[in-house]
């Protein structure tokens, strides 16, 4: 059975992320503000509710990032913008290879 290297997997993920590209720009924490990441976004057909500070919030977006070779990447509590909307990371999942990061997010506001 052939093995796949991290570099090959990273290249495949980069290719897949190009289907629905979006650039996310970190807003907070302040130490990472203006840092940008290439990602893709997926609207969850069945969002789910979580309780945040006594309020129910709906998680309806999932962002995917290739984190191969990246030392600092978004995690729970970080806030970022896609240029038109601000999101807060509610949870994160890293795949077993350590290359693909999935961020479940709550939309914060809509700019018009």
What is the average pLDDT value for the chain, to the nearest integer?
85
Whether residue 111 has pLDDT greater than 50 = no
Which residues are CB-neighbours of 77 under 8 A, at least 6 positions away?
88, 89
Whether residue 112 has pLDDT greater than 50 = no
Quick one: pLDDT at residue 15? 86
CB contact at 8 A, 24 and 39: yes
Could you read off the pLDDT of 13-43 as tens digits, one per residue?
888 888 888 999 999 999 999 999 999 988 7
Quick one: pLDDT at residue 110? 43
pLDDT band (50, 70, 90) for residue 52? low
Helix, strand, coil share of the chain (percent; to 5): 15, 55, 30
Q: Which domains does the chain carry?
A: 6-110 (2.40.10)
């Amino acid at each position: 059975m052939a093995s796949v290297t991290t570099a090959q997997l990273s290249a495949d993920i980069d290719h897949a992320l190009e289907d629905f590209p979006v650039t996310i720009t970190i807003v907070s924490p302040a130490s990472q503000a203006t840092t940008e990441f290439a990602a893709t976004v997926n609207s969850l057909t069945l969002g789910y509710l979580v309780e945040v500070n006594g309020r129910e919030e709906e998680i309806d977006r999932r962002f995917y990032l290739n984190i191969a070779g990246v030392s600092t990447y978004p995690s729970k509590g970080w806030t970022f913008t896609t240029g038109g909307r601000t999101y807060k990371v509610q949870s994160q999942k890293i795949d077993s290879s350590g290359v693909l990061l999935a961020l479940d997010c709550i939309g914060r506001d809509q700019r018009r």
